[in-house]
Amino acid sequence: MNIGQIVPEMDIGGVEQGTLDLARGLAKRGHKSIVISNGGRLIPELESIGVKYYTLPVHRKSPIVMAKLIKEVRKILHKENIDILHAKSRVPAWIGYYSCRNLKKTHFITGFHGFYSPHFFSKIMAKGERVIAVSSAIAEYAKEKFKVPAEKLRVVYNGVELKEYPQVTPPPISGGFTPLEGEDRGEGENRIGILARVTPLKGHSYFIEALAKVKEKFPKVRGFIIGPLQKNKISYQQQLEKLLKKLHLRNLKFIPPEQKEKIFPTLNILVSSSIVPEAFGRTMVEAQLAEILVIGTNIGASPEIIEDRKTGLLVPPGDSYALCEAIIWSFTHQKECKKMAESAKKIAQEKFSIEQMIEKTITVYQEVLSLPPIPSHQLARGYV
């Protein structure tokens, strides 16, 4: 098969990492794979595995730019003899949809990666010959809000790499915490982290408030906010820093994504405090695979990743008190938490592996290729 993926950018994120993993898997299995995007930090990795890529501004929402790009993408699809174009975001999907119109060979499918608002611009995500949802929660949402027929929907969980982290002693953090009196840094600490983009949707303020309450009973608790900060979210981080001062919380530090590998394996608990439904929850699975206990909010796809009190803990969104109670419970029930973390790892290795993602996606591709070609006039009218 000759497969094309079209995404806004190849930077840090779940969609981007999934695109890279799928491209690698297709290449290993002897399939031709290309990626069309606006570039990004993952492009060198595409180069290293021999995947061809095209850099085009397919993230731009300008109708004039999109119209020009349709011609460019159509040329690429024809040149590369692409069988399937897999679009994973709305602007690239519109471009890809119309690029496929006059190409008899190329099939168009979409990846539903978010709880998109059901307005006209988002409806393109329902127009693939097959619609791949990254969780059952997303599949149900697509059926309800976008009227995607069940026979077109396929659930394929994102794949997450299993990394073997060495057992390490928590490292000193330069410019970080002032040790408590009589305390050796890293000794006897409970270390809790949140791994997410620094944005209000991720519920950082509730994490901070919960940590302040936990500190009253466990003074040696340490908190880490790990994740990228976008330029348009600087004011939000400043709000969080004001909250830290207000709560007199000196035991929390912001960690850039470049230092993730240094801090992540030292955590006792990973918190996902999102206040809006998560389409999947890659960071929760990463933690499960590292045998780190996960506490998540019981919305979106989180209950598909965490079975409460069996593979982790679930709390209501936006409830710092409930989050505090869950953290304290985990500190006082370490044997139960160890069993939960071990169970979570076993399930995650099978349910959320990169291999299952690749194999199930290839199955969808093969299914689509067995379908009769859709006449271009029907594709143009949105019958798919």
Could you write out the DSSP letters of every residue in 285-312? HHHHHTT-EEEEESSTTHHHH--BTTTB
In this predicted structure, the answer to whether residue 168 has a pLDDT above a threshold of 60 is no
pLDDT band, very low/low/confident/very high, at 306 (cuts 50, 70, 90)? very high
Going from the C-alpha of 319 to that of each of 159, 275, 330, the distances in angstroms are 30, 9, 17
pLDDT greater than 70 at residue 384: no
Q: What average pLDDT does this structure show over 351-360?
A: 94
Average pLDDT, the chain: 87
Residue 349 and residue 263: Cα distance in Å, rounded?
Answer: 22
Q: Which residue has the higher pLDDT, 147 or 380?
A: 147
- Domain covering 190-351 assigned CATH 3.40.50.1700 in the classification: no
Q: Is the pLDDT of residue 87 over 50?
A: yes
- The token duo for 350 is 């099978």
Q: What is the mean pLDDT of residues 3-30?
A: 90
For residue range 38-60, what is the model confidence (pLDDT) as tens digits? Answer: 988 889 999 899 899 999 999 99
pLDDT at res. 172? 40
Residues in the chain: 384
Give the pLDDT band of residue 188 (cuts 50, 70, 90): low
Would you say residue 165 has pLDDT above 50? yes
DSSP-assigned states of every residue in 330-378:
HHH-HHHHHHHHHHHHHHHHHHT-HHHHHHHHHHHHHHHHTSPPPPHHH
Average pLDDT over residues 299-316: 96
pLDDT of residue 267: 92
Q: What is the mean pLDDT of the segment spanning 64-85?
A: 94
The domain 2-159+353-380 is placed in CATH, from the list 3.40.50.2000, 1.10.3210.10, 3.40.50.300, 2.10.240.10, at: 3.40.50.2000
Dihedral sign from CA coordinates of 276, 142, 125, 157: positive
Q: What are the boundaries of each domain within the chain?
A: 2-159+353-380, 190-351
Position 374 scores a pLDDT of 54
**Domains 2-159+353-380 and 190-351 agree in fold:** yes
Rounded-to-integer distance, Cα 223 and Cα 252, Å: 4
pLDDT of 213 > 70? The answer is yes
- DSSP readout, 153-191? EEE-PPP---------PPPP-TT-PPPPTT--TTTT-EE
Q: How many Cβ atoms sit within 10 Å of the Cβ of residue 165?
A: 13
- Could you read off the pLDDT of 243-286 as tens digits, one per residue? 989 998 888 888 888 888 888 989 999 999 999 998 998 899 99
Look at the pTM and tell me if it is higher than 0.85: no
pLDDT the model gives residue 180 = 36
The pLDDT of residue 210 is above 90 = yes
